[in-house]
Structure 1
Amino acid sequence: MRRRLINSILAVVLVVITVFGVSLVIVETRAIESGARERLQSEAARLVAVVESRLVAGERVTAESMRTSVPGDRYVIIDLVGEEPITLGEEPEGGVIQSSEVGARGEIVTVQQSRDVIGDEVGRTLLIILAVAGLAVISAILLAVRQARRVSAPLTDLAETAERLGSGDPRPRHRRYGVPELDRVADVLDASAERIARMITAERRLATDASHQLRTPLTALSMRLEEIIATEDPETVKEEATIALAQVERLTDVVQRLLTNSRDPRLGSAVGFDLDEVVLQQVEEWRPAYRAAGRAVVHSGKPHLRAVGTPGAVSQVLATLVENSLMHGAGTVALRTRTAGNQVVVEVTDAGPGVPPTLGSRVFERSVSGRNSTGLGLAVARDLAEADGGRLELLQLRPPIFALFLSREADPDGGCPPEARGSRTH
């Protein structure tokens, strides 16, 4: 591209120089020739005046008397009435230009000059024009190289930016070049880089969240399969297989929810559900793991509570809390249900050392962990809770109490909660 720009600028300059140069040569040639004729005419008029003055004074006009009045590069012919023509100077060879003047006494003075003199002057003028044209061409080359660099450098830079963007480096460069068209391309590339960066971040977060959220259901499923392998009782096998199938369904629900949230986190399928079913389900699923660790997981609190949310997401949040207690806590893990205004609350607590005070306010941040874990579980659990319109909080550091707050389902019979219906009169 740089070579094309240089060639284009040089072509334009050469055309301009050629057109104006030829025109200037023609004009200068005519001007030089016209000037030479005017000078010859002036010489002829002067010599006629000299001849007339001599004739009036009664002097004889001869070649010797007129020689001092004639320039050495001129050929002069003086025709006097009744006398032989007088010639002065060397007669030019080849083409000549001449001018004649007639005096009052009939004398005729003719002045001639060789055209070679005009050719020499035209040649000198042509050399000057060519020198100026050469300087113009050199200046044009320097200007063309400079302009080519000024235009091609931003294009090269933009090409490198596009190449970096295509190679997976979506960092915007925020470079501008003072050319509106190039700055517009740079704006588009930077905007594309920011969008690609957001997409890559979202994809990486989806992969991280998926690996973490799928780990818990898969762990629970593997425990059920181990129970099936370890027992020979057909009834136990059937019971464990039924639970395993339910876990597979929840695993499918987790995958579907991840895909849905990756497309639009605002999309949800919140419904009213029995909170006891979800809590007891988690207690049953994690009981074998706690039994193997010599610990227990129990459930207590207010029964028959109904919440609004996504059962699969709520199960995932509770599974994360129960798993954290298994890995980092100690003693019995208790899941308690209660109400708080128009919300239902599920608290998960254990007898472990709790959360360090330095991490209390940051425990839900991604990659924040005090026990050499990934630091993703609580962050993902909070995201799931907020996506359902609830919230996940750390109520107490020692012993640790995590609380899941969900909206309470309104009673279709007038807003009275189900446990208070017995006090109504009919």
Structure 2
Amino acid sequence: MKLPAWMHSLRFRLAAMYTLLALALVTLVGAVMTVQLLRDLDGQFQARLDERADRLAEGFNSPASGLGQTQPAPAGSYSMVVDEKGRVLAATPGLRDYEKAPFPFPGLLEVRLDDVPFKVATRPLRAGGFIWVALSEDVLIEARRSAMRVLTLAVVGTPLLTLLLAWLAGQRALRGLGQAARLAGRINPSSSVAALPLPRRQDEVYELLSAINLLLARIEAQQAREKQLLGQIVHELGAPLTVLRASLAQATAHSAAAATNPDVRRAALVADELTFTTQDLMQLARGQLEMRLAYHYIPARQLRERLDRLVPGTEFTGDWAAFILCDPDRLTQALRNLLANGRRAAGREGQVELRLSETPEAVRFIARDSGAGLPPELGERIFDPFVSGSGSSGLGLSVSRQIARLHGGDLTGGNWRTENGELGGAEFILNLPGLEIGDDAEGEEAVLEEAEQRSAVHRTAALPGRIPT
């Protein structure tokens, strides 16, 4: 059975711990006190009984003292005088039926008279025989019951009261810790590592927040070093890649043989692959908020032509005669990453498809491949940086989702199935907001105005470098 969430809280666990301690303490102390109280009550009762028996025996042994048979019996007390032959000579009212008869309770220390328990004491008489005294235990029994009721009430009531008070006290005592948790929960190291405000009282919460602030400072320093390192790597790769791509372009432009040489074409594709990787690294180093989109209203076939050169063998389906408002370079980068991952998963002989559909509300790109599909255990983690299910660097999907969201859309992923229900491979759906525009000047102005609004949302320094066409 699953326990409710509040039972897992520190507040409840502390209250439960204090309640158990209170229960153990009250039970132990209450039991000791009750045992001692009952022992004292038994002693007092026995002393009263002995005192009664001694006074009666003294009265019979010393008639001149004025005591003896004429002494009135207290409530709940009986007595009998027994001769040396074991016959009852005299008895208090209530036991007169036993007079002149054999003594009915020889050797008993407790008897029941009229269903009431009595304790018994005897004292010898000088003239022979003995005097028998019985004292009712009703008062003692009632005292025992009262003591047990008090103990039970203490054992049951004290823990409940302790639990309630500890819960309320814990709410106040742990308020600072809860505020610290909420503040820490709002930290996003990818965008901000601002220090948490410290409370005035330098208690355990103060120490916790100080430790978190120290950790945040270390994270910020580590991020700065990582971004600096990534920037240096991209810079070091950028120069030779630019030279390599320029050399390949000149070779294919001046030599027909080089233009048709498969090795030269393969080298150009590798150079493009490295260019995309460096751009992904640069975007990761600078963060998505530092990228500004340059919107253009372009025909979708331009995207298809660029993607066809970057990822050869892609099958394009759907309506590519549509027009799209986007940053062509960034959208090409996002779609190219999806198709390149699909080509890796499907292999050289596999199938990679990119379908485009447009409505007034949305523009949808669906990238599918015939590979093994996405590992189900990764889930949404497939979009985290450096998490890969196809042996790539693990940056492409993260960058593609960032680009989609900067356009006001989103990127989702999963596995598609054939009509027969068989697993068909990975499927990524990139959605962008659609536009419903006419052919007049007002329609064109609406396009420009929406583009400016989208760009304003993500206004920062532009990310250097563009995808080659």
Q: Please report the TM-score for the alignment, with normalisation by the length of structure 2.
A: 0.37
Q: TM-score, normalization: structure 1? A: 0.41
Identify the structure with the greater helix proportion: 1
Larger Rg over CA atoms: 1
